[in-house]
Amino acid sequence: MESFVLEKDILYVGGGNTKNLLALWKEWGLDSILRKAWEEGVILAGLSAGAICWFEQGVTDSYGDGLEPINCLGFLKGSNCPHYDGETERRPAYHKLMETNKLHSGIALDDGVAIHYKEKEIHKIVSSRPNAKAYSVSLEKGITERELHAEYLGSE
């Protein structure tokens, strides 16, 4: 079950059901409160559903028979696809959803990768796994993946 924790000026959202998380936040007015917190400098963080939620769109397994597009809070432009290397169907589903114009271009993250945004721009990408990566994924003349440099935080 998704949850969130607010500690000092950091709001962390865990993984879970993205659709339920967003529906409840909107019903309770938390989406507006979160936007105001974000605009006032609160750091927003998350994993899986907690990462997808900040973007305009994302790829979710929260409903339907497979991976589906979902509209999110829209604090960050584009779409997000977590578990890019961790679930075999994520990468092809993300590509197909872009090719059928159901998702905008966006960012895909292997498991263990985090992106730090400042002023809506990527500031730094880090990884807890030596070979985990982040990608800018777009539809040009077909799907284009551009690997983004991720700094490995461990020791080799």
Spot the catalytic one: 62, 83, 95, 127: 83
What's the rounded Cα separation, in Å, for the pair 67 and 61? 5
Angle formed at CA 63 by CA 115 and CA 15, multiple of 5 degrees: 35
What's the rounded Cα separation, in Å, for the pair 45 and 52? 10
Residue 83: C-alpha distances to residues 49, 87, 146 (Å): 11, 6, 17
Spot the catalytic one: 48, 62, 79, 127: 48
Spell out the alpha helix ranges (H) of 44-117. 49-52, 90-99
- Catalytic (active site) residue 95: no
Spell out the alpha helix ranges (H) of 2-133. 18-28, 30-39, 49-52, 90-99
HSE, side-chain direction, 13 A CA sphere, residue 65: 0
- Catalytic (active site) residue 48: yes
Catalytic residues: 48, 83
